A and B are shown apart, each in its own frame.
Chain A
Amino acid sequence: AQSVAQPEDQVNVAEGNPLTVKCTYSVSGNPYLFWYVQYPNRGLQFLLKYITGDNLVKGSYGFEAEFNKSQTSFHLKKPSALVSDSALYFCAVRANTGGFKTIFGAGTRLFVKA
């Protein structure tokens, strides 16, 4: 069965500092991995995805994520945080075979302090 873990409910970082939001996954076969961001009372906005290839994936708004197969992790990173990055972040996984079900992590709330 697929599962996603986001071990931190909340991450606090000062503006201008690097940020990391952690994600680990479990899925049969090779995974499709995604990061989404959600602002209050809004739907999900796609940030980036990993399918295959280079382990470092670059996405929207300066975010990037590193796929680590041995650690089954897909951590989201940004070199310099902005106050406007404060939001709820979801990691998601979809198996590359079988059904098209996407499973989401519990979400991590990011607070960037000015």
Chain B
Amino acid sequence: GAVVSQHPSRVICKSGTSVKIECRSLDFQATTMFWYRQFPKQSLMLMATSNEGSKATYEQGVEKDKFLINHASLTLSTLTVTSAHPEDSSFYICSAGTGRRDEQYFGPGTRLTVT
């Protein structure tokens, strides 16, 4: 079946630094990738949608200069949290779509802790 990986699974960084999270579709080409953020005991909030080779579409309230998304290829999308602050600490989950409306595959998530 379709597999999506994320790296790293956990990362701790200091306030003010930037951290990059990778999302890869391992056995299929992802026409669209999605980035979600999940706070403890809460639902997934869609941050942005990206299509390969084009700029990401950010949801209302998400700072695009803070959360940089790059979808460089059909198998790789990256989320860079710039100038991280403790309030950016969260669980970030990516997902990849194949182009079929009923197919969306989720990565295992990345736990970001900003100290």
Contact = CB atoms under 8 A, between A and B. Distances in A.
Given A100-B49, A104-B43, A104-B44, A43 B104 contact: no
Contact of B43 (A32, A43, A49, A106): A106
Interface string A92-108: 00101001111111110
A24 B102 CA distance: 19
A67 interface: no
B42 A107 contact: yes
Interface residues of B, number: 22
A63 interface: no
B4 to A, nearest CB: 8
Q: Across chains A and B, which 3 residue pairs bring their CB atoms closest together, nearest first?
A: A43-B108, A44-B106, A43-B109
Interface of B: 6, 32, 34, 41-44, 46, 49, 91, 93, 95, 97, 101-102, 104-109, 111
